Structure 1
């Protein structure tokens, strides 16, 4: 009975560009299956999958939602994830939880950057796919144009499974090539009408069906022999051949219709059940590789109910009222609510809370979960997104989620001092929900910096921060962590002498400071001879130098890459102390810095930029305009990877600029390479602005 249950489950992700109609298609599938009584609308905020206030405000999906229903005695879980490029992390995480994918393709929007990247990950994960061409009720929409997009942009061989009857405003039916039947939408009803193929389309249907049968037959010897002998394949042979070819990704079946008019949805529903694999079928040929968390030895699970329990947490939701919910894809075995398991990633025990199946915002408690199920687990203590849960007796750890790094940063300030802790706590909770967000407190610039994948990503995070945690913030561009150093060797004396009642203070030292190579930091040397300064006072001098380096005399930025040598001085047998020599060391360092031709340094980032080939010239020109230096250019499929060194100051607003140059198809990642001297013509302006800010803060 258990194995039958696993065979009658489908976990399917829907992915698309923004505006392709993915959420509308989700709604149409629910409606056609009888799961909901009426079709909801994205525009009116009435869809099952988009229910968060931020989604209703922006009229687009902002987070992954699960939708569960049944069709032909099969339990289907649809995973509807955002299509926006800046929310790509949600969609990439969702792909680890499913066994198949439906690509929603709209001829009007084409294949944009977000869909291209998702398609790349789908191929990496070797996930079986269907394509649904949406929006054929729009004027000018072309099914043939969509097939061309599959060939050129997705680089695959599309096989039409339906043919549209008419297009534009009169579009209301498709011809299902498997059943050789016209399927007409019921309009306001989820029911459909089946009729014979019209005479004027018989030839086109015959040709398309022949193409489909030949594509299936040529991949399996038994089917090919049957086709050559009989000139046709039975429906059962055709379906079995298609299932095998889709499971092994031999070609890409393409369906078509209109989600808004409920056209073509019935055929897609049947394809989900008859053509896409169950979790057991998928994992039988594509088990998930893992490792033993202690020994590191390879380990795997085939997905059977008889195997030990294992599961992957692919999403976390934290609500101030409901608490923490962790979305888990059960990859093997059976697990019961309130059990104790091992977090294989962190190697700690976890007591499981209640289990829930989820459809939109509705939660239904269940007592257990089987291999292939997707459930939400309540109140996990130490488990986060990307972690593995497993049986303690047979531990395993699966690879974590591969998520993109943030590329856009803003400094944020709480609107009142009383809300600083509330902001910090709220953002840390949001990062647990969405690991593609980052939040740090920069100890140098004193900024609280929030980083994300794009403007929409940051906006949504701040809206959630306000709604869920009641924290209001203001946003501005983060400060650049500049540094100071010197270009010439110099010497200076620091002499601190103070006479008061009783013991006085006396410290006297001579320092030499010299520049070091970039990245060498700070070196302190003692060359005092003859006891001019007692050895026990030398550490105090170094301490005074280190404190003075925190604020350079040029503009108050930290000093780096200098060698400081104490070589002479004097002391008083009674008045000298560690404090007096610490002050003397600080005084000497500041004087020597002034004489050492101080300069301003800025962080240089190593940036890896991936752009379409047709935009390389514009991007490289922009890199040069931003004071960047191109390190290398390498071809990568239909894209080019540019490596360049660029000043961080020129990258603070680079994301919208790159999107504009590449039509949203470019991406980049960066890390700090080293510091370099700021050009003289810019240094003066930076110093002036920084000093003005410091004076303003001091006055305030």
Structure 2
């Protein structure tokens, strides 16, 4: 295979809503370039892109799939992505390594849809050069004007028409205002006939051509001067200005085509070749320490891993983009995260499940290797002893969390291993074991995402799993002071056990004054691993308890705090004054005072108005302004406290605090309330007192199940 330099490599990612036609467009482009002899279809489950069994089952893309084609001395790497935001991790990682984004819209559905809005936020964040493609222009139910209007509503006047569809003598045509030509297609599509612009379209074509000239000139000072001098720009000058505008994220060309019937895909490929930014045009990649990676011959090799896949008969496939230098088969590179050496025994260009071996890949190119031992998604591989760490992809936090169990307890370890592999393949799947809750927790982006995880567990890893509502990590504390004493005495022949402890407990808060009425002889602050503190005071006078037993008393108290008296939740923010007690010259020992301290603390705790604390999340909801009312009503029903509302274009940003217990099922409910147009994020804010009615129910439920 020919080796291309970064000026002749175009990395594009296809994004868009479900059923917009991304996979069909990718298939058509591969066919147009002669990479495949016949076009597959999603319905027949024989496309190059959607080749996984789960994708065949669902008849929709689940994974981002790298492909490639060669067109007029350029190599175009295409990444076909899923259209559902449950698989947003696949989309984000693909956008991260792309040079340009092709946003595919379904003309039949009126253009910009729910998934498009959500993905656009990430494109806008990365400021990636983007062009829009209105697909299915030949569909009887299509509405090109509506689709175009939806793009302009999304990006404003920065959207610039390159093409629009029309019918001439009953044939589907596309008028191109950059080329100022009409492309007329036969019933089977393919190579079009080039026509002059009809008289009845000249005014429209001239107007759009002039708009395109003006927009192209705006993005380059030299072009602006030329435009003022000549009053127009030639085609090459326009291409230069369009590219500059795309790189500035201030110009978004709009194309139209029919991917299914192969109308206009060749022109789109020509534009990607001639105009869309190449790998060499983008800003240099930055390392985590702010250094730029130079794109010069002989630069140190650096690869960024953006995707990992496990294939049953192959093992781990690692996808990477060459960010600096070049990589050769059998190169040995160091992983910046693990410090381990990896040997890239084989290099491949991937087209779905098909692997084409290559000997070398240069900067800007995308490739794959297999059977790496220590490398995961987001890792950097670099030449030994020249450490480079490329900025990692930031993935969104989970929107739903479930407890997961193996139906067969003997499969628990198998389940854990399988979930680790799924996380490696998709970092938006968060897997963790909570020792506090004694549950394996799985976080993901939605119910469909969860169903896909379950499918993989069952069909790929052979594990039957059960998903349940996870427990909530409550905390226990007190609201007033209380005193207690406990004598532990045990005699069973020989040396016995004896220890008596008198103590007082109080709620603790930062900055509170030292306790009054006690002769404080020592103080210890314990930062609790679960949050909060225990403040332990030694107030013993006259040696009634030997100093050596105080650590045992505190140990007994901490054991109770790890297994709270109300619901076995962790206890936090308490201070304890041990002020009296008794000991025996023979029978007293560490275990005696540990037991006495634990019992005295537990009794005092239950008399100090014990209270449960619940985790409260800081919730941010982005909702279309016309849907705010229903979302606000739902939030109030979830015991939310609205902190503020901000406007962002046609959206309202609601900021509130909401108990974690009330967020179970929120992702599904929000999607239902807003037809999937709203998004949200949440992160831990604080622990707050639960209402009395909620506490009573929790204690009752705990007593029933224990």
1:530-558 superposed Cα distances (whole Å, 9 cap, x missing partner): 22222222222222222222333333333
Measure, in 1, the Cα distance between the counterparts of 2:25 and 2:454: 29
Contact 1:411–1:450, Cα closer than 8 Å, also in 2: yes
Does the CA-based 8 Å contact 1:343-1:383 persist in structure 2? yes
In the TM superposition, residue 604 of structure 1 has moved relative to its aligned partner by: 1.5
Q: What's the offset of the Cα at 1:612?
A: 3.1
**Corresponding position: 1:338 with 2:330:** yes
Distance 1:248 1:495, change over 3 A: closer
1:566 alignment partner in structure 2? 578
CA distance in 1: counterparts of 2:2 and 2:336, whole angstroms: 26
- 1:137 touches 1:171 (CA, 8 Å); kept in 2? no
Decide which of 280, 287, 290 is 2:284's aligned counterpart: 287
Question: Aligned pair 1:361/2:373, yes or no?
Answer: no
**Contact residue 111 and residue 148 of structure 2 kept, 8 A:** no
Q: Partner residue of 1:147?
A: 148
1:121 deviates by 3.0
- Which segment drifts farther, 321-330 or 418-427? 321-330
1:36 to partner: Cα distance: 2.2
Cα deviation, 1:482-502, whole Å, max 9, x if unaligned, reads 222222222222222222122
* Alpha-carbon displacement from aligned partner over 1:497-517 (angstroms, at most 9, x marks no partner): 222122222222222222223
Whether the aligned pair in 1 keeps the contact of 2:220 and 2:244 (CA below 8 Å) is no
Question: Take 2:473 and 2:404, find their aligned partners in 1: how far apart are those partners?
Answer: 16
TM-score by length of 1: 0.91
Give the structure 2 partner of residue 547 of structure 1: 559
Map of 2:625 onto structure 1 = 613
- CA deviations on 1:280-335 (whole Å, 9 max, x unpaired) are 2x13xx222225xxxx4x42124233433222111112345422222111122211
> What are the equivalent positions in structure 2 for 1:53-68 lying under 5 Å apart?
53-68=53-68
**What is the TM-score when the length of structure 2 is the normalising length?**
0.90
Q: Displacement, 1:224?
A: 6.5
Q: Does 1:627 align with 2:664?
A: no
Partners of 1:304 and 1:95 in 2: CA distance? 24
Structure 1 match to 2:296: 304
Which of the numbers 623, 645, 654 marks the counterpart of 1:642?
Answer: 654
- Which residue matches 1:126? 127
Given candidates 640, 662, 686, the residue that maps to 1:674 is 686
Secondary structure of the corresponding residue to residue 630 of structure 2 = helix
Match of 2:496 among 491, 496, 504: 504
Taking the TM superposition and a 5 Å limit, the aligned residue runs for 1:8-47 are 8-47=8-47
Kindly state the Cα deviation for residue 436 of structure 1 after the two structures are TM-superposed: 1.1
1:171: how far off?
A: 6.8
**Secondary structure of 2:292's match?**
strand
- CA change 1:496–1:365 in 2 (3 A) is same
Cα deviation for residue 188 of structure 1 reads 4.2
Please identify, of 31-40 and 428-437, the stretch whose mean Cα deviation from structure 2 is larger. Answer: 31-40
Q: In structure 2, how many angstroms separate the alpha carbons of the residues matched to 1:441 and 1:3?
A: 46
Residue range with higher mean Cα deviation, 338-347 or 134-143: 338-347
Distance 1:464 1:33, change over 3 A: same
Partner of 1:398: 390
- Deviation string 1:224-272 (CA, Å, 9 cap, x unpaired) is 6777787765444444444444444442221112222222222212111
1:255 is aligned to 2:255: yes
- 1:456 equivalent to 2:442? Answer no
Q: What is aligned with 1:163?
A: 164
Q: Distance in 2 between matches of 1:535 and 1:221?
A: 81
Partners of 1:418 and 1:472 lie apart in 2 by: 11
Residues 1:536 and 1:236: Cα distance change in structure 2 (over 3 Å):
closer
Q: Find the counterpart in structure 1 of residue 474 from structure 2.
A: 482
How far does residue 523 in structure 1 lie from its aligned partner after superposition?
2.1
1:367-378 → structure 2 map (5 Å cutoff)? 367-378=359-370
Match of 2:509 among 509, 513, 517: 517
Q: May I ask how many residue pairs the two structures share in their alignment? A: 685
Q: Distance in 2 between matches of 1:250 and 1:585?
A: 69
Do 1:20 and 1:109's aligned partners in 2 also have CA atoms closer than 8 Å?
no
2:591 to 568, 574, 579: 579
* Structure 2 residue 75 is the aligned partner of structure 1 residue 78: no
SS in 2 for 1:279: coil
Structure 2: any 5+ residue segments left out of the alignment?
511-530
Distance verdict in 2 for CA 1:156–1:62, change over 3 Å: farther
State whether residues 183 and 192 of structure 1, in contact with CA within 8 Å, keep that contact through their aligned partners in structure 2.
yes
8 Å CA contact retained: 2:50, 2:56 = yes
Contact persistence 1:615–1:662 (CA under 8 A): yes
1:393, CA displacement in angstroms?
5.8
Which residue pairs with 1:697 in the alignment? none
Shift, 1:52, TM fit: 1.1
Partner of 2:426: 434
Contact 1:71 1:273 (C-alpha < 8 Å) held by counterparts: yes
Ranges in structure 1 where 5+ consecutive residues have no aligned partner: 695-700
Give the CA deviation at 1:438: 0.7
Q: Distance in 1 between matches of 2:217 and 2:688?
A: 64
Q: CA 1:278–1:549 in 2, change beyond 3 Å: closer, same or farther?
A: closer
Distance, in Å, in 2 between the alignment partners of 1:13 and 1:574 is 79
Does structure 1 retain, via aligned residues, the 8 Å contact 2:4–2:362? no
Q: SS state of the match for residue 208, structure 2?
A: helix
Assess if the C-alpha contact under 8 Å between 1:603 and 1:675 holds in 2.
Answer: yes
Whether 2:87 is the aligned partner of 1:95: answer no
1:657: how far off?
2.0
Provide the C-alpha distance between the structure 1 equivalents of 2:571 and 2:656, rounded to a whole number of angstroms: 26
Give 1:49 shift. 0.8
The whole-number CA distance in structure 1 between the counterparts of 2:560 and 2:311 is 46
Q: Is the 8 A contact 1:33 1:190 kept in 2?
A: no
State the alpha-carbon separation in 2 of the partners of residues 632 and 484 from structure 1.
Answer: 30
Q: Distance in 2 between matches of 1:328 and 1:139?
A: 42
**Is the CA contact (8 Å cut-off) linking 2:9 and 2:278 kept in structure 1?**
yes
